[in-house]
Amino acid sequence: MRRALSLILILLSTAALTRSQPSFPDNGQLYVDTVVPAVYISIHPDTLAWIYANPDSDREFRAVFVFDNGAVRDTLEQVGFRLRGNTSRNSKKKSFKVSFNTFTPGRKYFGVEKMNLNGEHNDPSVMRSKIMWDILRKWNIPAPRANHVRVHINGSYFGLYINVEHIDEEFALSRFGNKDGNLYKCLYPADLAYRGTDPDSYKLWNGTRWTYELKTNLEENDFSDLAKQIGILHNTEDQNLVCELDGVFNVQDYLKIMTAQILCGDWDGYLYNKNNFYLYHNTQTGRFEYIPYDVDNTFGIDWFGINWAERNIYGWQPGGDQVRPLYDRIVNNPVLRDQFSFYARELIDNTLDIDSLIAAVEARKELIYPFIVNDPFYPLDYGYDQADFLNSYTSATGAHVKWGIFPYLEARSASMASQIEEGDAAPVIKYYAWDRRSGEPLRVSCTVEAASRPLTVKLVYSVSGGDSREAEMTGDGNGRFSVTLTGIPEDDPVTCQVLASSASGATTLLPCNPFLIAPISGETPLLFINEFMADNEQTISDEHGFFSDWIEIYNGGDEPVSLGNLYLTDNFNDPLKWKMPGTVLPAGGFILLWADGTPGLGERHASFKLDKDGEEIGIYNRYKLVVDTVTFGLQYEDASMGRRSDGAKEIIFLAASTPGRSNNLTSASPAPEVTALRIYPNPVAAETLWLSETADCRVYGISGILMFSGTEVTEIDVSAFPAGMYILVTGDGRAVRFVRSGK
């Protein structure tokens, strides 16, 4: 017995958009830049004194936050407050982080969880990073939003700051439509150098922090994706680099980022200083996205004795053996080098109008000047005064500020233009997308950019593995091309590539491995997610003796089903997340799968864990068609949810767990009455872990070593805990896991 998909599931699962364009949220109230909003922080004076006396600490303290931009004025109690930054921690003008969710889990303010208030103490203009963030966003790069704000603490004016959007899972969701991928914060010396195939070899500790710090999926702590990308970057032959790199990295947008960084003289990022960037593994596309970070050392600021306005754009990295593999492979690959040259010309000639940019910066200078006048911290680090602020736009101020912003822009753009190599760059193809719905034709689109126009763009496609066909794609005048295909049966898969040719005859065919557009109808096996447990403490152990999350699958059909062609996921946006084992499940049979995030433990161990606070589970076939899905909320220790009877529609808490066997003898049970213990922050990078209530507790390492024991505890000093996962157990038997992240 097999079943056809319902139309509702079809519409949910097949209006697919893959490798689609990033989103660009507007500034909203928090990042409005037509005014200079005020931020007011109230914190105990002794606490503030402690923060200043311990600049290297990441410990967060409770504070009251007020935001006022003239249109809104909001007060938030119990926000987290601490210092942020690297070298700026030792400056007189500090930078601060405000965390809205540290002491109120899940809280956001205008969609963000944290606010970065940067003092910009190196920059007399207090403008450089704002200009670069604006250039990146104008260049259609998903960079952080930013604005100037005036900061007051305990009633005293602390000066003019730049408020820069925090890069975290919420940033990823707002830009890429998903947030469950690995997000790495990459700091010096993050050179992307090859260290072998072992993912753990990239878990590098540098002094007091990680070089590649994983900010999401901390329990899994799996660096396999990063190791794979770096391996491809290192080991791929030059003639195969475009294809191989395109499969794991959004190289098209990185070419634009690289161009902007070289124009702005951003030496403190990856290209020169192997520092200050994020990598996000976009689960919708399967590729890494490069996200710039901390861009204040730009537009003529220099600490090396280098004239960044004149530096060779094809020789930007340091000399000798200090190779930056990503940059080096690009500028030495003929196809990618020509495309980089194309973007360099495009940025200077078409995207940026230097005169208009200078006029806009002049206007912004007038907007922020009144808040420099009384900034008490502005003069303290380098002796800057109001004249330095005004002159810094047109003149060097000495020491590390070798250029005024405006002459730098003019000199750099002229120098860059003179260096750009002539060439016939192959068209750049990106942002493939499609829309396939029942009863409607299939629509496929993509973006194509090239210097030589007009462009001829064709979709090269095949239906169910048949002969190759071509269809002309029509442009909208802004680089977006699309085609509508009719007469394709809904239960047939379609594979596609895009062939683009410029007026000069240069061609590109991408992706090298055609992308698959799944069918939207067809029969699927009658499999059910029959029961699951997201907080297994002692109910059942796996073959290794570990108590892990588990999922039970039931075959409700009258035919055996081979699971090897099916996939299990905890993210409906990533339906092919984990391929199930090649077990043949007989009719009426059950199989228990371990959702422990450690597939190396055996074929029945999935690559993900379940979230006891609630998430989703899905079974899909290779065409991404839904076989069965479940969405659940808060779970409880050693309580399972399952179908009232095997394969039934209703899902309930079960009175008794029945992993690997029938549910039919169980009955409904209400959710256990449990008062959950909350701890925060989790993950904890600071020195202190806080409990939501006073409790007797013990903390164990994942290997069972007792790390802490105390009575009537409300906070725990974890400063000496190595990075990893821990279990906190209270005197009344409640247990909660937490992660100690890199310091």
User: Could you report the per-residue pLDDT of 171-222, keeping only the tens digit for each?
Assistant: 999 999 899 899 999 999 999 999 999 999 999 999 888 999 999 998 888 9
- pTM > 0.85: no
Name the pLDDT band for 499 (thresholds 50, 70, 90).
very high
Name the pLDDT band for 741 (thresholds 50, 70, 90).
confident
Name the pLDDT band for 703 (thresholds 50, 70, 90).
low
Nearest alpha-carbon partner for 402 in 318, 308, 311: 308
Question: What are 677's two structure tokens?
Answer: 């213990």
CB < 8 Å & 24+ apart, contacts of 463-469 = 463/488, 463/489, 463/492, 463/493, 463/494, 464/492, 464/493, 465/495
Sign of CA dihedral 320, 324, 327, 331: positive
Q: How much of the chain is helix, strand and coil, in % rounded to 5?
A: 20, 30, 45
Nearest alpha-carbon partner for 342 in 502, 456, 480, 137: 502
Q: Could you tell me which residues are beta bridge partners of residue 515?
A: 496
Contact yes or no for 267/308 (Cβ under 8 A): yes
Nearest alpha-carbon partner for 426 in 593, 619, 283, 252: 252
Question: What are 661's two structure tokens?
Answer: 């066997």
Name the pLDDT band for 8 (thresholds 50, 70, 90).
very low
Instruction: Kindly tell me if the per-residue pLDDT of 123 is higher than 90.
Output: yes
CATH 2.40.50.140 at 2-11+522-653, yes or no: no
Q: DSSP 3-state assignment of 246?
A: helix
Instruction: Kindly tell me if the per-residue pLDDT of 701 is higher than 80.
Output: no
- pLDDT tens digits for range 300-343: 999 999 999 999 999 999 988 899 999 999 999 999 999 999 99
- Choose between 612 and 269: higher pLDDT: 269
Distances (CA, A) of 672 to 268, 503, 631, 653, 665: 53, 69, 19, 9, 20
Top mean pLDDT of 1-5, 25-29, 663-667 is at 25-29
Task: Using the CB atoms, write b or e for 267-295: b if 16+ within 10 Å.
Answer: bbbbbbbbbbbbbbbbbbbebbbbbbbbb
Nearest alpha-carbon partner for 699 in 719, 678, 721: 721
- Choose between 654 and 244: higher pLDDT: 244
Quick one: fold of 429-507? Immunoglobulin-like (2.60.40)
